[in-house]
Structure 1
Amino acid sequence: MAILLEGQDFTPGDYEIYMRQRVSFLRSPRGRAALMSGGYLWRFAVEVVSIQQALLQPSTERTSIWAPNKQPVRAPSPPGFVYYDDQLTEYEILLLCGTYICYTGSGQQITLKSWWPPISAFEKPNGTNFHRWTPQNEAAYQNRLVKIQNGQEKPRPVKKWHDLVAGNKQARDLNEGMEKLAYSFLTKYEQGGL
């Protein structure tokens, strides 16, 4: 992640540098975790990571990744091995989204800008996240990509991304309602089965 001074402008060359870093990361064994993540992370990885790589076993070289319940997420493994589920770290996610730390010009105040929506903006229920990559997502991705390559688009601040991916109110309400119903169903039947 680069740190930029206030007033520094972005060019298509900056996007090319970001793309080289992204592809290099995705070609590493950690690319598997990006492909399995879904959303934009999946979209970035699907161009570089093979399905065969995704089907490989979890990493043995990774330190434990802590799940929300603060326990390591482990996968079944043969005796003498401990496999940890391949999940991306926060830094890796920021790298994949093309995030920069930018000084605002107000003392030490900074803002995060990225070429693509931060996962915090896209992954929560909103008007553009339908928990799968849709033709609308692909059209928006391709449209922005062409504009970036033509120098018409630059990295956006996180706040702007949150506003852009919010979508219309009815779609947000629908998504939020589905999330609540699914959660309610799963918690109601987790103990006794169906």
Structure 2
Amino acid sequence: MLPDLHIVLGWRHKNNLNRYDYMTYEERARTVLRGPRVRAALQRGGIVWRLTMELLRETGDVGTALGVRLGPSEVVNDYGTVFRPRRGDDYLDDKLSPDELDVICGVYKVTINAGQTEDRSWWPKETHWRGSHMDHGFWTPWCETWFRKRLLMIRSDQAAIYNSRSWSDNLRMSRKGFLFHKNLELASTNWLTEHYKVRVEDM
């Protein structure tokens, strides 16, 4: 395997980005999604999947999404990831590097006090999305409503880029919704174990 590709949106000294900065981000993200990377992005699910679909839709290239069904790309041996089951052969599949995931989610390095920096982004990092109250394992109508509202605010210059703590607050839902998410995850795990003898740690 070759080292992960290094690609970033860059540094910012202020938090006052506008819709034109967002348009620049979109073009940069589309650059990442050209070629085999789009398949890996669609397979991630969650916020990465939704952003990828939006970026493809805006260029009339949604048909590219059909490539996800064709199997690993021709560069999987160089930039893929290995899945090793307990028994049988190893499998390869396409993957995105951490930097590529950050570009898709619109992550910048922002200078704050006394030369210190932190990550701030247009959208939650995948690491923020995974395990959040909005991560149900599928894209819900509530997720879509939240996404469309956020996108509208960005394009009307009413949204800022957020740091990790702000995204944690932004993705938080009620206690009832959180318990539903945890119970759904437990039920899904038990079903896979019972019917397919699959354990989550093997996946």
- TM-score normalised per structure 2: 0.77
RMSD: 2.6
Q: For residue 60 of structure 1, give the secondary structure of its aligned residue in structure 2.
A: coil
| Equivalent position of 1:86 in the other structure | 94
More moved, 129-138 vs 94-103: 129-138
Choose the corresponding residue for 2:74, options 28, 53, 60: 60
Q: How does 1:1-194 map to 2 (within 5 A)?
A: 1=8, 2-5=10-13, 7=14, 9-47=16-54, 48=56, 49=62, 50-62=64-76, 63=78, 64-66=80-82, 74-75=90-91, 84-107=92-115, 109-124=116-131, 126-187=132-193, 191=197
Q: For residue 154 of structure 1, give the secondary structure of its aligned residue in structure 2.
A: coil
More helix by share: 2
- Cα gap change, 1:24 to 1:9, in 2 (>3 Å): same
Q: Deviation digits for residues 87-126 of structure 1, max 9, x if unmatched?
A: 222111111000001121134x2211110111112121x4
More moved, 143-152 vs 178-187: 178-187
Contact kept, 8 Å, 2:52 with 2:104, in 1: the verdict is no
Q: State how far apart, in whole Å, the 2-side matches of 1:191 and 1:42 are.
A: 28
Q: For residue 70 of structure 2, give the secondary structure of its aligned residue in structure 1.
A: coil
- Cα gap change, 1:20 to 1:163, in 2 (>3 Å): same
Q: Deviation digits for residues 134-191 of structure 1, max 9, x if unmatched?
A: 1111111111111101100021112111111121111112212332343345456665
Q: Which runs of 5+ in 1 are unaligned?
A: 76-83
Q: State how far apart, in whole Å, the 1-side matches of 2:119 and 2:147 are.
A: 20
- Cα gap change, 1:68 to 1:93, in 2 (>3 Å): farther
Runs (4+) of structure 1 exceeding 6 A deviation are none
Higher relative contact order (CA 8 A, sep 6+): 2
- Cα gap change, 1:56 to 1:191, in 2 (>3 Å): closer
Query: How many percent identity over aligned positions?
Result: 26
- Cα gap change, 1:13 to 1:65, in 2 (>3 Å): same
Q: Which runs of 5+ in 2 are unaligned?
A: 1-7, 57-61, 199-203
| Equivalent position of 1:81 in the other structure | none
Q: For residue 145 of structure 2, give the secondary structure of its aligned residue in structure 1.
A: helix
Q: State how far apart, in whole Å, the 2-side matches of 1:32 and 1:38 are.
A: 11
Q: Deviation digits for residues 35-54 of structure 1, max 9, x if unmatched?
A: 12111111122241423321
- TM-score normalised per structure 1: 0.80
